[in-house]
Structure 1
Amino acid sequence: MDKVRTKGNLTWNNEFWENPWDQGGLAVISLFIIMVLFLVMFAIVFGLLSPPEKVSECEED
């Protein structure tokens, strides 16, 4: 019984990787998820940094 399931699963898996549209869709979804995670990390890092203190010209003298 396990051989039948494994064989059917391998057949479906091989069919998936042979279809270029499935590979392209997987690549697009992966890039989208990576971009969202990158933007979230970017927002967290620059949100935690404090802005530089402004020094007025009168205080320098």
Structure 2
Amino acid sequence: MDRLLTRRAWKDEFWQNPWDQGGLAVICLFITTVLFLTLFAILFGLLPPLDRVNPCEES
């Protein structure tokens, strides 16, 4: 029982430390950025390129 209370106290102590919270936020932002860039690359890699028409060659 004592071990359970010390484990809970350690978890409570973790959330009180702003450096731990900041580190967790940076890790989450990094993972989110990597996932967003991967999704961006997949999305625009699958779309076909647009056909561009040069107005000078259209006569």
TM-score normalised per structure 2: 0.82
Identity %: 57
Runs of 4+ in 1 over 3 A off after TM superposition: 54-58
Query: What is the CA–CA distance in structure 1 between the aligned matches of 2:19 and 2:54, rounded to whole Å?
Result: 59
| CA positional deviation for 1:8 | 1.8
Let me know the Cα RMSD of the aligned residues.
1.7
Candidates 10, 13, 32, aligned match of 2:11: 13
Structure 1 segments unaligned to the other structure (5+ residues): none
The answer to whether residue 36 in structure 2 is matched with residue 38 in structure 1 is yes
How many pairs are equivalent? 58
Query: What is the CA–CA distance in structure 2 between the aligned matches of 1:24 and 1:56, rounded to whole Å?
Result: 52
